[in-house]
Amino acid sequence: MEKKYSKTEKEPFVSNQSEERKSFGKTSFKRGGEGRSSSDVRGKYERGSLKYGRKPGSEKTDRDDDRARSFVQKRRFKKVEKDVHKDTIRLNKYIANSGICSRREADELIVQGLVEVNGQVVTEMGYQVEKTDKVVFDGQGITPEKPVYILLNKPKGYISTTKDDKARKTVMDLVANASPYRVFPVGRLDRSTTGVILLTNDGHMTKKLTHPSFDAKKIYHVTLDKKLTNEDMKLIVEGIRLEEGIAVVDQISFIEGKPKNEIGMEIHIGWNRVIRRIFQRLGYEVEALDRVMFAGMTKKNIKRGHWRILTDLEVNTLKML
């Protein structure tokens, strides 16, 4: 049943496919020869729960849902924190926490003599490893940190680095209690940009999502200082030349029900401040920039400045991309 919301509340983008026909307006552009339709992008904006007025009693349900999510996140955190403070850990769990395989598969690797601890092959089941031990599998050192994946809805005024020499606020301040392990932002959003950003201690995942060949899709809600003309939109579709080369925009469109200065854009290039520079080249200033999707992850149900741990299903989806 469709939820109802008050007329005074604004309507963000939709992130579910069932809403894809309602997201964008009639005007839509695509790069020639790629065979994409405007409907491919429509389903990537989140409409959230703010359009139709709240149903009586729904506020209590929302609070209950928030409590349930908070309980699950706290339980996950405590489980990970418990492992962190242990002096020793079973070798199979050490291997599993490193992300190589499951515990059962780790047992098989140990029996086959493929794991070394401090330079010695260990085949003993249940062997306890100390935190200071050096564990090697297949010729490479591994660490026992369990991968953590945090999705943050970044507010304005925070920079996407682990620390700042000028003592400015960073995204690390917002996720300080999210994990006992040290995490890092995947890619960057500049200080004035808001929206979805992923933080993790999974170096392989970070490298995969930020490498140009991966083509991680990103969708932005752009608000300009004036209306965008159809002619300039066509120029953007054709490609605007910047210092790095031609800036390729995968999809761009006006947003249905919004003024012509609010634009939806999908890109995969990761150049610094690329969207702002594209519009500056054409004489526009970006007043607000909000990333509503990154690699299939949206900020749905995450308040600005808040975060949540990705589900196992979401993590597996990222790994399969």
**CA 80 – CA 84 distance, rounded (Å):** 6
C-alpha distances in Å from residue 70, one per residue of 67, 76, 171: 5, 10, 20
Structure tokens that stand for 110 in this block:
């140990």
- Residue with the two structure tokens 């304005």: 156
Only one residue has tokens 């752009």, namely 222
Rounded-to-integer distance, Cα 226 and Cα 217, Å: 26
Please identify which residue in the block is written with the tokens 């100390």.
130
φ/ψ (deg, to 5) at 21: -80, -10
Among 41, 36, 33, 43, smallest CA distance to 253 is for 41
Residue 152 sits at φ, ψ, to 5 deg, of: -115, 140
Query: What single string gives the DSSP state of each residue in 284-310?
Result: --EEEEEEEEETTEE-TT--TT-EEEP
Residue 106: exposure state from Cβ atoms within 10 A (0-12, 13-18, ≥19): buried
**Active-site residue, 164 included:** no
Dihedral-angle region of residue 252 (phi above 0 means left; psi in -120 to 50 means alpha; beta otherwise): beta
Sign for the CA dihedral angle at 78, 84, 85, 91 comes to positive
Q: Which of 190, 215, 290, 312 does the annotation list as catalytic?
A: 190
Count of C-beta atoms within a 10 Å radius of residue 70: 11
Tell me which residues are annotated as active site: 190
